[in-house]
A and B are shown apart, each in its own frame.
Chain A
Amino acid sequence: MNVTQLSAFVTNKPGHLQKVLKVLADENINIITLTIAETLDFGILRMIVNDPDKGYQVLKEHNITSSITDVLALEIDDTPGSLYNALDVFANLNLNIEYMYAFTEKREGKAVMIFRFEDIEAAKKALNDKGYNIVRKIDIIGENK
């Protein structure tokens, strides 16, 4: 099981991002973390939410172009060099990271990074081989203490 990311197409103008956030808020969808990739004309809002399927449905109902994608959620130590070492695993296998971002919350000295890969299974296998902890279900973060 992979962590799923909810993405939405947003025009790069005042008020547009808010429109998306309002739809999610009204439906009680909680955003756990998010990142925006922006261009001159538009941005792509990428979110980890508590209920991605419902989030996708409500955005769709409001004519907001969105999609659901599998992403890799990787737990690493919150120490200097940890991310560097993790990326080594991908570089050695020539696996290109499409994009990545970090979780805002930390627990017990651990950080969580989100990665987008063309071939997520290859990346997971590589990490498993090296003994990394892949987060399988995002809503357990912070609860599984």
Chain B
Amino acid sequence: MFNREIESMPVNKMKELQLERLKWSIRHAYDNVPFYKKKFEAAGFHPDQFKSLDDMKRVPFLTKQDMRDNYPYGLFAVPLSKVVRVHASSGTTGNATVVGYTKNDVNVFAEVVARSLVSYGVSENDVVQIAYGYGLFTGGLGLHYGSEKLGALTVPMSGGNTPRQLMLMQDFGTTVFCSTPSYALNIADFIEKNMPDFKIESTKLRIGVFGAEPWTEEMRKEIEQRLKIDAYDIYGLSEVIGPGVSAECKEKNGLHVFEDHFYVEIIDPDTGEVLPEGEKGEIVYTSLTKEAFPGIRYRSRDITRLYHDGCSCGRTLVKMDKVTGRSDDMLIIRGVNVFPSQIESVLMGFEGTEPHYQIVVDRKGSMDDIEVMVEVNEKIFSDEIKVMNNLSKNIADRFRSSLGITAKITLVEPQTIPRSEGKAVRVVDKRKGESE
């Protein structure tokens, strides 16, 4: 364990620690963010009334919409001079949500990622290749700081460029690979199709750290089998901190929540009522130590359950089930749940198709229809129709095999996909009559 004292703390002691920190966090939000003050007052709640964990139910919820309404800095609780970093959510819907970090918040972020890595069996002797995107998305920098904090050799490769990923993997002796799970599958496909002589066994790869999109046990098995690694889930959301809110251990059965920094509750998504431990519902987060961007009872829309099972790894931290879906980004296409991040990952497997694409979902009669528009740049352009048609066909095949959906791939000229604030509009859901 990276932090044995915390990670194996008796449950009662943890509850005491949480109560003490909750009092501070709720007070911090109330005193420093006018939005919280107004919201608490409207709900007839005052931080002085907060005496026990049971009082949590009196604290009003924070929603994604609240975050959007306060774009960009409205929910910050410290002056901007104390903020050292911002990230923005990768959500494809609406205004981006901007989150800020003080120096201390950055340290906490690194700490929880380092704990996650250790729980997978990563140590300072490892070479950690980070294939999450670096940038506003929390994945790249989050894993990077955590890996450095642990003292591992950190390779900041960022996403895409599969041939180079594989070259570095071999040349640098990468032992730990971090990416989205669908990108890991793309890598396996790429090796199979384009590098028949590449033997994954000849690399030192042993552990995969996958997150940022929901993935199934079937995907885990496939990744483990094809890349010859142990694949672990890292969970998080930028609104709470980023990856490292919770992590699997060697058991690969549930994720331990780092509850000295994040207080978790399960509620009934319809009534908002807190559910007893073990019941399935929407997970709600309250930050316990965040300075720049406190989140008080943030409704994640993620469906899971919480439980203590006396885990064999020795961690006493509460566990949550692997999250199988986040309801607000999810598209349901002919009954299949699809996340924009999964679509992005499929496209990332094709050199040159990233980052300009758009997904249009429409209803033709009673059937949902999905069209993926991909801008053709020089990298993927050919003067031969055959080559262009093969590209479309290969992308469509990959959608079918990895997401189970039949998509029409339309190749379009550069700059034809509308951009908003410099970022492409990723999803247009015509079924709702508005762009999402």
Contacts and interface: CB of A to CB of B under 8 A. Distances in A.
Contacts of A64: 413-414
Contacts of B384: 44, 98-99, 116
Contacts of B415: 63
A65 interface: yes
Interface residues of B, number: 18
B381 to A, nearest CB: 5
A144 B64 CA distance: 73
Contacts of B389: 39
Contact of A39 (B381, B382, B385): B385
A4 to B, nearest CB: 11
A9 B377 CA distance: 9
B411 A42 contact: yes
Contacts of A10: 413
A108 interface: no
A64 B386 CA distance: 20
Contacts of B386: 98
A41 interface: yes
Interface in B183-198: none
Contacts of B376: 9, 42, 65
Interface string B406-417: 000011111110
- If over half of A's interface residues share one DSSP class (helix, strand or loop), that class is named, otherwise mixed; here it is strand
A41 B385 CA distance: 12
A33 interface: no
Nearest to A60: B378
A65 B377 contact: yes
Contact of A69 (B377, B383, B412, B414): B383
A67 B382 CA distance: 7
B179 to A, nearest CB: 28
B233 to A, nearest CB: 39
A59 to B, nearest CB: 10
Interface string A16-44: 10000000000000000000010101101
B381 A42 contact: no
A9 B379 CA distance: 12
A50 interface: no
Contacts of A46: 383
A16 B413 CA distance: 9
B381 A9 contact: yes
A68 to B, nearest CB: 9
Contact of A11 (B377, B381, B383, B412): B412
A65 B413 contact: yes
Contacts, number: 54
Contacts of A44: 383-385, 388
Interface in B88-110: none
Contacts of B377: 65
B378 A7 contact: no
A66 interface: yes
Contacts of B382: 67
A48 to B, nearest CB: 12
Interface in A105-123: 116
A39 B384 CA distance: 12
Interface string A56-75: 00001001111101000000
A116 B387 CA distance: 13
Given A9-B376, A65-B377, A42 B383 contact: no
B385 A65 contact: no
Nearest to A42: B411
B413 A67 contact: no
B415 to A, nearest CB: 5
Contacts of A60: 378
Contacts of A16: 413
Nearest to A19: B413
A66 B381 contact: yes
A45 B388 CA distance: 13
Contact of B416 (A11, A39, A66): A11
Nearest to B416: A11
A9 B413 contact: yes
Contacts of A9: 376, 381, 411, 413
A63 B413 CA distance: 9
Contacts of A42: 376, 388, 411-413
B414 A65 contact: yes
B372 to A, nearest CB: 12
11 contacts: A5-B383, A7-B383, A9-B413, A39-B385, A41-B412, A42-B388, A42-B412, A42-B413, A64-B414, A66-B378, A69-B383
Top 9 nearest A-B pairs by Cβ distance? A7-B383, A65-B381, A37-B385, A11-B413, A9-B376, A63-B414, A41-B410, A65-B376, A63-B415
Interface of A: 5, 7, 9-11, 16, 37, 39, 41-42, 44, 46, 60, 63-67, 69, 98-99, 116
Given A11-B412, A99-B385, 17 more contacts: A5-B383, A9-B411, A39-B385, A39-B389, A42-B388, A42-B413, A44-B385, A46-B383, A60-B378, A63-B414, A65-B377, A65-B378, A65-B381, A66-B381, A98-B384, A98-B386, A99-B384
